[in-house]
């Protein structure tokens, strides 16, 4: 075969070898752990020293009695720990779904709501709220609403008999817009004293109402769907190629994309039914993570789940400690996320 000097025009040395993935993940994991301890220590009731928080965590091991005040143990385990776990799960879920969506729809500007899952979940939740159903059923309705909406989005290309990524994205935009209008209607008819504040909760996001019971039912779906996406993360690279190229690499596009969509939709739907819609996370965090870990989805997916966990921990801790009330999360993610997005675009310089 030809030597390199013949075809390559210029010398291209200097590109650095990427850091091994395990180093990236261990560093991020350690950061996450420290942040989690910090988040458990901070709160409105009382600020606990971080080392004492660690002691409290270990006090649950049978046979260990460190003689810590019971109120502090309760604050950490009953109030803060469920929130911290929820923040980690929701953050991880949203950015895993976002990174996968961006990959399989070949577009870095895609967010997990692309196929209408968030607006559908909001419609489901608002129906339940208008009907006066309890919080458990509201979550179930939100979950069902999200899944049904995505199913509807997937159905449109089939009805049109045109199976391309563009048509799918378009039908996501159409269905999402339709659902937003329905949310508008439900807000319009809702009781301004009782129902409207609850609807606002769904559209702006908060982890305040997460309970151990609701975590118990949803966490397993999240973990299972997350494992599927993490396991098939290299295939997302293939799905991000042009359809023709991917097909000629032996990829069963329909099957693999559907599997990834189902997993990402389950992740987003469970996240939304726990906390309502939280904007920006699924869009911005994968971008920021690409700067740290690179574009290869093999590295991006696990890394962005950890980065997003850190991000949501910070956001939620600020939301519950900064003022006497709860700040809706979408407000904070937007205020922090938008500048970050500009920063990452400036760094990437790929939209010129």
**Under the rule (CB under 8 A), what is the footprint of other proteins?**
1-13, 15-18, 102-103, 106-108, 231-235, 237-238, 240-242, 244-245, 247-252, 256, 259, 290, 294-296, 298, 350
State the minimum distance, in angstroms, from the CB of residue 300 to other proteins.
9
State the minimum distance, in angstroms, from the CB of residue 347 to other proteins.
12
Q: Which is nearer to other proteins, 10 or 67 (CB)?
A: 10
Q: What is the dihedral of CA 64, 70, 74, 77, to 10 degrees?
A: -20
Q: Which of 283, 286, 288 is nearest to 334 (CA)?
A: 283
Q: Which is nearer to other proteins, 148 or 241 (CB)?
A: 241
State the minimum distance, in angstroms, from the CB of residue 240 to other proteins.
6
Q: Which is nearer to other proteins, 53 or 95 (CB)?
A: 95
Q: Which is nearer to other proteins, 36 or 300 (CB)?
A: 300
Q: Which is nearer to other proteins, 84 or 261 (CB)?
A: 261
State the minimum distance, in angstroms, from the CB of residue 270 to other proteins.
21
Q: Which of 253, 332, 340 is nearest to 290 (CA)?
A: 340
CB-based contacts of 168, cutoff 8 Å, min separation 6:
105, 115, 153, 154, 156, 157
Q: Which is nearer to other proteins, 111 or 277 (CB)?
A: 111
CB-based contacts of 278, cutoff 8 Å, min separation 6:
90, 94, 205, 271, 312, 329, 330, 333
State the minimum distance, in angstroms, from the CB of residue 168 to other proteins.
15
State the minimum distance, in angstroms, from the CB of residue 30 to other proteins.
24
Q: Which two tokens stand for residue 270?
A: 């469970």
Contacts 24+ apart (CB under 8 A), 103-106: 103/236, 103/237, 103/239, 103/240, 103/297, 103/300, 104/236, 104/239, 104/240, 104/257, 104/260, 104/261, 105/165, 105/168, 105/169, 106/165, 106/240, 106/241, 106/242
């Amino acid at each position: 075969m030809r030597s390199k000097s013949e075809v390559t025009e210029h010398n291209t040395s200097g590109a650095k070898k990427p850091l091994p993935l395990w180093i990236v993940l261990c560093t991020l994991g350690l950061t996450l752990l420290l942040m989690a301890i910090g988040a458990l220590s901070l709160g409105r009731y009382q600020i606990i020293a971080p080392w004492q928080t660690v002691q409290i965590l270990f006090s649950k091991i049978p046979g260990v009695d460190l003689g810590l005040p019971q109120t502090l143990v309760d604050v950490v385990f009953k109030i803060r720990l469920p929130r911290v776990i929820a923040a980690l799960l929701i953050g991880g879920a949203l950015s895993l779904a976002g990174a996968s969506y961006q990959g399989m729809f070949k577009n870095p500007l895609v967010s997990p709501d692309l196929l209408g899952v968030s607006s559908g979940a909001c419609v489901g939740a608002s129906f339940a709220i208008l009907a006066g159903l309890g919080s458990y059923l509201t979550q179930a309705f939100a979950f069902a609403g999200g899944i049904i909406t995505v199913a509807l989005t997937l159905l449109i290309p089939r009805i049109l008999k045109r199976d391309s990524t563009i048509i799918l994205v378009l039908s996501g935009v159409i269905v999402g817009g339709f659902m937003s209008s329905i949310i508008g209607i439900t807000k319009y008819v809702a009781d301004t004293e009782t129902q409207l504040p609850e609807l606002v909760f769904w559209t702006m996001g908060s982890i305040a109402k997460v309970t151990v019971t609701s975590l118990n039912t949803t966490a397993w779906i999240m973990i299972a769907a997350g494992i599927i996406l993490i396991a098939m993360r290299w295939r997302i690279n293939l799905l991000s190629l042009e359809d023709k190229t991917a097909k000629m690499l032996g990829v069963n596009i329909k099957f693999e994309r559907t599997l990834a969509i189902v997993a990402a939709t389950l992740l987003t739907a469970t996240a939304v039914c726990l906390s309502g819609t939280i904007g920006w996370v699924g869009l911005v965090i994968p971008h920021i993570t690409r700067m740290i870990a690179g574009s290869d989805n093999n590295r991006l997916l696990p890394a962005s789940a950890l980065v997003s966990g850190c991000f949501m921990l910070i956001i939620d801790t600020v939301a519950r400690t900064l003022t006497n009330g709860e700040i809706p999360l979408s407000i904070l993610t937007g205020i922090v996320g938008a500048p970050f997005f500009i920063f990452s675009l400036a760094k990437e310089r790929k939209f010129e």
